[in-house]
Structures are given as C-alpha cells and as structure tokens.
A and B are shown apart, each in its own frame.
Chain A
C-alpha cells in the first residue's frame, strides 16, 4: 500500500471506524428485527393453524362432505394452503397445494405439532402440521413467506444505505476534524522549512496553554532560539579569530614581500622556502577573508550595498580585476547578451563570487576556463566552464557546503583550496535572490551556473 499522509490515514480510519460501527449496528438491527418479525409471523401462523385444525377436526368428525369446501374457504380467508390427510386420502382446498410438496418427515404420523421453513422455487414456505388424533387425521398448512422476504429485503436495503451514508459521514467528519487537528503540524513543518532556508526569525504562535500543540510550539521555538544562539556564538568566534589573525597575517605577507624584493640575494634553498611561504600566506589570507565574510553573513552584521548594475560590464570588470589581483591566466569571456541587462547586487560581494569561481576553475581545471553570459529563465545566467575532471553528480549538491572536500577534490587539483570558496559563492548569490548549481561542462570539466534575476535599470 502506498504511504498515505497523516490526514489521509486519519480520514481513512474515521471512515473505516464509522463503516465498522454502522455495519455492526446495522447487522444487529437487521438480525434483531428479522428475529422479531419471523417469530411473530410464525406465532401468528401457528395460531391460525390451530384454529383451522380445530375446524377441520370438527368437519371430519361431523361431515366429511363439507371438508373440501371448508378448506377452500380457509384458504381464501387466510391466504394459506390447507391440506388434510386421512390415511391415504388427501383433501385440499382450491389453492395449489400438492401433497408431494409436504416434506416426507411431515407425512409420518406424529403426536406433536411440527413446523418447518423450507425453500420452494426460491420462496420461503412455512409448513405446519397439526395431528388430529381424535379423527386420525393430520392438518397441514402451507404459507408462503414471500411478503416477509420482501419486508426483510427492504429493511436490508435501508440499513445498507444507512451504513454507506454513515461511512461517508465518518469520512467527511474525519477530514474536517483532522484538518483542524493537524493544522499546527503543517504550520510547524512550514516554519521548519523556513528555518532550513535560513530564516531564523520565524517563530510559532503560542497556543492554548497545557495543550500538546502548545508544547510542540514551545519546543520548536526553544530549538530555534538555541540554534540562533549557537550560530551567533559560532559566527562571533569565527569573526573574532579571523580578526585576530588578520593583522599578523598582513605583517607576515608584507615581510614576505620585502624578502621577495631581495630574492636574488638569497640562497636557492631559501628562495624555494620563500616561494612556499608566499603561496601559503596568500592562501591563508584568502581563507581568513572568506571566513570573515561568512562569519559576518551568519551573524547578520555585514551590510549589503545593493546597486542596479549592467551585468555585462560588471562581469568584465570583475574578471579583469580577479585575474590581475590573483595573478590568474587570461580568461575568455563570451557574452551572448543582446543589449544591456541589469542585476541588483552588492559590487564587492559579486566580485568575490567571480573571483572564487575563477580561482576554483583554474585550481581544478587545466588552464582552460571560459566565462559565458546569457539570458535564461527570466534572468541572467553566468556560467564558468573548465576542462578539469569535473564533479561527480552525487557531490554536486555538497560542494557548496563549508569545508566540504569531495572524493574528487584531490584528483581535481592540489590542496590549496580553503574549502570555503564555493560556500561563500552560494551565500552571496542567495543574498542576490539568485541560485548557483553545478553541471557538466561541454569542455569536459565542471560548469558552475549562477542565475540572477534581471531587474529594470538604466545607464547613468
């Protein structure tokens, strides 16, 4: 059976419960009423048979010639069929009653009144035998119970309809009741989704005290409060650490730069050590910058300076800037845009996005990186292709997690990545109301796709 929703299951349970209960009550009603009707009818027929038998006995004792006409009148008056057995002589009324229709067990002369309901041609028939020892005769009365069958049939139909109606009513009541009952669950699920999407301001309303829903709401709100506190603590810690590291790192970088000015005077081993030092300090600086950005974003202390900018010009500037500042190879930019298109972004963050994407592409690619701008899905689509080993489909969601290093990271390049670059890209792009995803590049490597909503704008 396919998994049903909680509401579906509750509705089904209500319907089944109502069906079971109404079926039980309908069955009890039916069997009870049937018993009363049948017993009552049989008692009535039995009383009629006694009266008829007494008349027959009298007729047989006084004047046999009147017996056929007596039976005929009895049949007419009682809508039953009468038979009298006098030894081998059977005397009938005018109704259709064949002696052979009397069960063999009845034809054996007895001393007790017996009765039996049998089915003849799909019609129930009540047969009563009254022995009349005074005249050595037996009186038989046959009475078709078709009308009783009809009554019971109608009763059954009414009860079946009632059962169906009650089941439907149960399902309807269950659906209405569960809608209200599970509404708080739906609210909680919606709030949890909002929290998962980063909205930590969402809270559930307080419900009636001492109710299960109130407990759930309080627990949920408490959980979100604790989550906010932890995130703030973590962000503050990362921010503090980054701040503390920034100054000595700057000093370290400047010292290395001074040493680089006198690189020619150094012993070859010292030159090699200086090169390593310079590279690692740059990586370290980059990591600290990224950490600081993320910490600010988490703590909500960063300020967005949103501007409506032409995307073509913005991307060109950012690519040139990133290439120069980070000493990257020249990057091909292919703009497929027709005319000016604008996006609303923070220039500094957008430059960080481009820088991180290019660094990532060159780090893991094989020195062939292409940046493409195109329109798509009601916005602007920026793609960065490389010809590296690419990213396995299973890892494409996780590469945007902080410090995530997939199985292919070591294959795709050296270990100079901070593990925060793509996380920061996702963070910034989401702040621009855009999205970022990974695909397979036609160059054979990885394709990073950044989509940003287009906005109205005009050149100043």
Chain B
C-alpha cells in the first residue's frame, strides 16, 4: 500500500499547489506574435507630424493671452512646458522657469499631476502662481483638464490650481 501512497500524495499536492495559483502567472512579459496583431496598429506612418496647440502667455499688462502654434506630435505635457519656456512669442512673457524639469505627468480624468524635480527653487510665490495659471490654461485647452497639481519633488510640497473658465 505504501507504493500507492507516494503517487497519491503527489497528485493531491499538485491539486493543492494548483489551487494556490488558480490563474497561472508569467515570470516575465510575453511577446504576442506580430502576425496576430491587427494590421496597421504597429505601423509608424499615417499620423500627423504636427498639431496646432493653444499656448498661454502673459502680455505686458500681466494678462494671460492665447497664441495658436504648431508643434510636432505627439503632444506631450513635457513638450508643452518646453514650448512655454523656450518659444515665447515677441511681446509676451512666460512665468515658467527656464530650467523646469518634468519627471512625470499623470493625467487622470480632468486632473493632472506634474512631478517637477527642479526649476522652482528661488522662484517667488507670485511668479510661481503665475506659472501655475499659465500651465493650467495651456493644459486645459490641450488635454481638457480643470485642475493642476504640481508636486515639487525638490522642495517636497504640492501646489494646485483650478483652471479658469475658457
């Protein structure tokens, strides 16, 4: 009878083990055969090379004004911030620090959170708030967000501002 005991226990153990992981997991990501992917999904062509986006700047009276400009796609928040700091039209100004460094931006519904690792140190609160207003207006028109959260990783604080009505 002891000869039967070992395979029996083995079978029971296998059943119990399988019960522990009901849905089998994968140790690493598995590639899907490209032939099984709908044609065109993985192609690089077919998309617009650029898009026209509304950017907001300050005029001489300190009012926010909109300017439509073309930027290359994809339109990312990093690209928008770069454009706001480095492509300022003549006669207008920007409140964003030129050395602003964005590590990650997460858009969830109509709220965006920016993780800023550098750039706000030494900026006075008034300029900081102006930068927030400039960013939220631009992001509202591009991504449809209504609230901007800025997580200043460098100083360990979070600022937030609601977008004004369009």
Binding site for B on A (CB under 8 A): 1, 9, 12-13, 16, 19-20, 23-24, 26-27, 30-31, 34, 38, 46, 50, 53-54, 57, 60-62, 64-69, 72, 86-94, 99, 103, 105-106, 111-119, 124, 127, 129-137, 145, 148-149, 152-153, 156, 160
What 1/0 flags go to B1-41 for Cβ under 8 Å of A?
11010011001101100110111111011111010111001
In the complex, what distance in Å separates the CA atom of A453 from the CA atom of B4? 54
CA distance A341 to B50 in the complex (A): 130
A127, B32: Cα distance in complex, Å: 12
Q: How far is the CB of A284 from chain B (nearest CB, A)?
A: 61
* A68: B residues at CB distance < 8 A: 107-110, 143-145
Distance (whole angstroms) from the CB of B37 to the closest CB of chain A: 5
Inter-subunit contact A27/B14 (CB<8 Å): yes
Q: Once bound together, how far apart are the Cα atoms of A149 and B18, in whole Å? A: 11
Q: Is the CB of B22 within 8 A of A153?
A: yes
Task: Give the CA-CA distance A113 to B7 in the complex, in Å.
Answer: 41
Give chain B residues whose Cβ lies under 8 Å from the Cβ of A132.
Answer: 41
Top-5 shortest CB links A-B? A114-B29, A134-B47, A152-B22, A91-B107, A124-B23
Stretch from B59-67, B69-77, B122-130, B152-160 that touches the partner: B69-77
In the complex, the chain A residue whose C-beta lies closest to that of B11 is A23
Q: Does B161 contact A (CB under 8 A)?
A: no
Asked if residues A116 and B15 are in contact (CB atoms below 8 Å), the reply is no
A117 cross-chain contacts in B, Cβ below 8 A: 23-26
Give chain B residues whose Cβ lies under 8 Å from the Cβ of A131: 42
Partner of A87, one of B12, B38, B76: B76
B142 touches A88 (CB 8 A): no
Q: A65-B143, A149-B23 are in contact. Are A31 and B29 (CB under 8 A)?
A: no
B102 at the binding interface (Cβ < 8 Å):
yes
Q: A26-B15, A89-B105, A134-B44 are in contact. List 14 more A-B contacts (CB 8 A).
A: A16-B8, A23-B12, A64-B142, A86-B74, A116-B26, A116-B28, A117-B26, A118-B25, A118-B26, A124-B23, A124-B25, A134-B45, A135-B73, A152-B22
Contact status A156-B22, CB under 8 Å: yes
A69 to B109 CA separation, bound complex (whole angstroms)? 6
Q: Can you list 20 A-B pairs with a CB-CB distance of less than 8 A?
A: A34-B22, A57-B47, A62-B48, A64-B74, A65-B143, A68-B109, A88-B76, A88-B103, A90-B104, A113-B31, A114-B30, A114-B32, A118-B26, A119-B21, A124-B25, A134-B44, A135-B74, A136-B73, A148-B23, A153-B22
Give, as a whole number of angstroms, the nearest-CB distance from B146 to chain A: 10
A19/B32 in contact, CB under 8 A: no
Chain A residues lying within 8 Å of B31, measured Cβ to Cβ, are 112-114
Q: Are A54 and B41 in contact (CB under 8 A)?
A: yes
Chain A residues with CB under 8 Å of B28's CB are 105, 116
Q: Which of B22, B37, B105 sits near A88, CB closer than 8 Å? A: B105
Chain A residue numbers with a CB within 8 Å of B7 are 20
A153 to chain B: closest residue by CB? B22
Number of interface residues of B (CB under 8 A): 56
A92: which B residues are within 8 A, CB to CB?
A: 106-109
Flag if B76 contacts A89 (CB, 8 Å).
yes
Task: From A24, A106, A152, give the contact of B23 (CB < 8 A).
Answer: A152
Say yes or no: A87-B74 contact (C-beta < 8 A), given A1-B1, A30-B18, A130-B41: yes
Question: Taking CB as reference atom, which chain A residue is nearest B51?
Answer: A64
Q: Are A113 and B143 in contact (CB under 8 A)?
A: no
Q: Per-residue CB proximity of B68-91 to A under 8 Å, as 1/0?
A: 000001111111000000000000
A137: contacting residue among B12, B74, B107, CB under 8 A? B74
Establish whether residues A113 and B105, one from each chain, have CB atoms under 8 Å apart when the complex forms: no
Q: Is the CB of B42 within 8 A of A133?
A: yes
CA distance A90 to B104 in the complex (A): 7
With a cutoff of 8 Å between Cβ atoms, the chain A residues found around residue B42 in the complex are: 111-113, 131, 133
User: What residue of chain A has the Cβ atom nearest to residue B45's Cβ?
Assistant: A134
Contacts of A66 in B (CB 8 A): 144
Find chain B residues with CB under 8 A from A149 CB: 22-23
Return A299 CB to nearest CB of chain B, in Å: 50
Scoring B43, B76, B79, B144 by chain A CB atoms within 10 A of each residue's CB, the highest score goes to B76
The smallest C-beta distance from A45 to any residue of chain B, in angstroms, reads: 11
CB of B162 within 8 Å of the partner chain: no
Residues of B with C-beta under 8 A to A50: 37-38, 41
Verify A105–B29 contact, CB threshold 8 A. yes
Complex CA–CA separation, A50 to B34 (angstroms): 12
Q: Is B46 an interface residue (CB 8 A)?
A: yes
Separation in Å of the A62 CB from the closest CB of chain B? 8
